[in-house]
Amino acid sequence: MDLKNKTALVTGGGIRLGKAFALALAEKGVNLAIHYNSSEKPAEETARKARSLGVKAIIVEANFSHIGSVQGLFPQIQRHFECVDILINNAAIYLPGEGLKTSREAWEQQFQINLETPFLLTKAFAKQLTEGREGRVLNIADAQILQHRPDHFAYRLTKLALVEMTRMFALELAPQITVNALGLGVMLPLAGKEDIDLQNYASKYVPLNRTGSPEIAAHHALHLIQSDFITGAFLTVDGGQYL
């Protein structure tokens, strides 16, 4: 896919890896709809940086805990852009808890934000894409789901299901739309734990003795988005940590 003058929706696109995905697309000439929930100022700053690269960029608010807010996202965007060509389902929540300690509230919240929202947005994306126009969906999963540990029980299940949904939508939406998933290892410290020594962590747990970065994550996201011959893939980028 030639990305220049295409339009992308990046959920959670104002901060952390979402910001990296958004700005990498902007560098390729992609116009942006940057979704945020509570991070309005960072989202606007990301949009400002994107505009400085010569593309159009807007920010759109939606609380993915509410289905009505999810369903209102594309109508917001369509006030500014005729069509969205690329959807990156990046926004997610990561709550701890083994199975027996996972409350129903934590279960439902994670399934709604991490799985139901990408499902609804993929449906809305496919419906608004005009006939004959190529589309790309990229779901941000997690490499750690390759190991069946019970910590973050509900979160892991949502990401496992997201990969399976990726494969089913890849079949259903072909050939017009490719649907892929990116399973990332450690690219950034967890929010609130920015002081962690990532190099020390990598030397203990990652075979390649280094962690990733937002730039590495964005590079592989672009690879899957640009490819015309990859769909239904789950690409792990984790330095071998979860082999």
Q: What range defines the domain where residue 74 resides?
A: 7-237
Residue 34 placed within a domain = yes
Report the pLDDT value the prediction gives residue 190, as an integer from 0 to 100. Answer: 76
Q: What is the pTM of this model?
A: 0.96
Q: Which pLDDT band, with edges at 50, 70 and 90, does 192 fall under?
A: low
Residue 9: pLDDT above 80?
A: yes
Number of domains in the chain: 1
Report the pLDDT value the prediction gives residue 197, as an integer from 0 to 100. Answer: 85
Residue 165 placed within a domain = yes
- The mean per-residue pLDDT over the stretch 12-19 comes to 98
Of the listed ranges 34-48, 50-64, 148-162, 191-205, the one predicted with least confidence: 191-205
pLDDT digits (tens, 9 = 90+) for 78-124: 999 999 999 999 999 999 999 999 999 999 999 999 999 999 999 99
Q: Which pLDDT band, with edges at 50, 70 and 90, does 178 fall under?
A: very high
Q: Are 179 and 173 in contact (CB under 8 A)?
A: yes
Residue 56 placed within a domain = yes
Place of tokens 């994306």: 125
CATH number where 24 lies: 3.40.50.720
Q: Where are the alpha helices (DSSP H) in the chain?
A: 16-27, 40-52, 67-71, 73-77, 104-111, 117-128, 153-173, 198-205, 214-226
